[in-house]
């Protein structure tokens, strides 16, 4: 409404932008009580529209922020059958973060989709922030998001191994942080234990956690269980919020599922 005596016209409300902003609160705010996304879900009970339809409308009609945020959240609120064809249509979108989110989600719901590796390598090289909250807590960026998604493709993503190795060898400057750890895990899922040991063994002294990963791989290859040690298993990664709680805990050894060489 217009302020009394201000002479200002009322500002139009962008409904679709408001919807995705509410959704993104759950992954952006530092404190749980600042998360307003539940208010939107409650409000939808009094609306004839479905939330998944509003998110798709935001993808089709929204501005840059609205579209990339809608791409981020559609997979949580729409079924795989609805989300997969929408994301396939976005793989070559003109907006980078729209196509990057499409590839990240397709790596889980439709990993056989052609062209995912190239888009995810592009996303791994891009400068973007999937979630402010996990960036604050764990320093995880779009690099780690895309690396983890490449691991979901298994042996089909072999062409990405040099780029994943590039992420790991850069860690000498900043320490072997979560982005680098995810890149190492992706190589393991793509190439299998033997080749991962061959590739990473020369980097063992770069960081103690590379050694921990190599020890874990060798233990598993001998038929043992992964050692506990210092390897982090608690990362609050964005995919676990956007996707299904507890789904695909990449800090634990992934058993063979027909896609990868592990």
Please answer whether residues 126 and 23 qualify as being in contact, where contact means their C-beta atoms are separated by less than 8 angstroms: no
Q: Collect all residues with Cβ–Cβ distance below 8 Å to 259 and sequence separation of at least 6.
A: 111, 152, 153, 154, 155, 156
pLDDT confidence of residue 219: 78
Tell me how crowded residue 242 is: count the other CB atoms within 10 A of its CB.
Answer: 21
Write down the pLDDT at residue 13. Answer: 61
Handedness of CA 92, 98, 102, 104 (dihedral sign): positive
Q: What is the pLDDT of residue 29?
A: 57
**DSSP track, the chain:** -PPTTT-PPPPPP-HHHHHHHHHHHHHH-SSGGG--HHHHHHHGGG-SS-HHHHHHHHHHH--HHHHHHHHHHHHHHS-HHHHHHHHHHHTT-SSHHHHHHHHHHHHHH-TT-TTHHHHHHHHHHS---S-HHHHHHH---HHHHHHHHHHHTGGGGGGGHHHHHHHHHTHHHH-S-HHHHHHHHHHHHHH-HHHHHHHHGGGGGG-HHHHHHHHHHHHHHTT-PPP-TT-------HHHHHS-TTTT-TTSPPPP-SSS--
Q: Exposure string (b/e) for 198-212, b if CB count within 10 Å is 16 or more?
A: ebbeebeebbebbbb
> What whole-number distance in Å separates Cα of residue 115 and Cα of residue 29?
33
Identify the pLDDT of residue 106: 94
pLDDT in 10s for each residue of the chain, 262 residues: 333 344 454 445 688 998 888 888 877 655 555 667 777 877 777 777 888 999 999 999 889 999 999 999 999 889 999 999 999 999 999 999 999 999 999 998 899 999 999 999 999 999 998 877 767 766 778 998 899 899 889 999 999 999 999 988 875 545 557 788 888 888 988 998 889 999 999 988 877 778 877 887 787 777 766 555 443 443 333 333 333 334 444 333 334 444 343 3
For the whole model, what pTM was predicted? Answer: 0.80
pLDDT of residue 138: 67
Q: Looking at residue 239, what is its pLDDT?
A: 39
What integer pLDDT is reported at residue 32 of this predicted model? 59
Which of 135, 105, 132, 139 shows the shortest CA–CA distance to 119? 105
């Amino acid at each position: 409404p217009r302020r009394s005596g201000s002479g200002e016209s009322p500002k139009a409300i962008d409904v679709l932008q408001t919807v995705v902003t509410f959704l993104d609160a759950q992954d952006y705010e530092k404190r749980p009580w600042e998360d307003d996304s539940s208010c939107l879900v409650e409000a939808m009970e009094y609306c004839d529209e479905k939330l998944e339809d509003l998110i798709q409308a935001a993808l089709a009609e929204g501005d840059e922020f609205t579209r990339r945020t809608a791409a981020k959240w559609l997979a949580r609120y729409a079924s795989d059958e609805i989300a997969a064809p929408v994301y396939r249509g976005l793989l070559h979108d003109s907006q980078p973060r729209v196509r990057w989110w499409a590839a990240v989600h397709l790596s889980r719901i439709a990993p056989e989709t052609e062209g995912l590796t190239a888009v995810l390598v592009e996303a791994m090289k891009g400068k973007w922030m999937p979630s402010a909250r996990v960036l604050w807590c764990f320093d995880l960026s779009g690099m780690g998001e895309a690396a983890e998604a490449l691991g979901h493709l298994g042996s089909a993503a072999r062409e990405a191994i040099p780029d994943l190795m590039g992420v790991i060898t850069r860690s000498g400057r900043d320490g072997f942080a979560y982005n680098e750890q995810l890149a190492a895990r992706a190589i393991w899922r793509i190439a299998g234990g033997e080749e991962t040991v061959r590739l990473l063994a020369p980097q063992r002294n770069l960081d103690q956690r590379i050694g921990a990963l190599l020890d874990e791989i060798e233990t598993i290859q001998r038929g043992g269980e992964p050692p506990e040690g210092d390897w982090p298993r608690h990362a609050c990664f964005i995919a676990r919020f956007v996707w299904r709680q507890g789904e695909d805990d990449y800090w634990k050894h992934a058993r063979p599922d027909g896609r990868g060489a592990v």
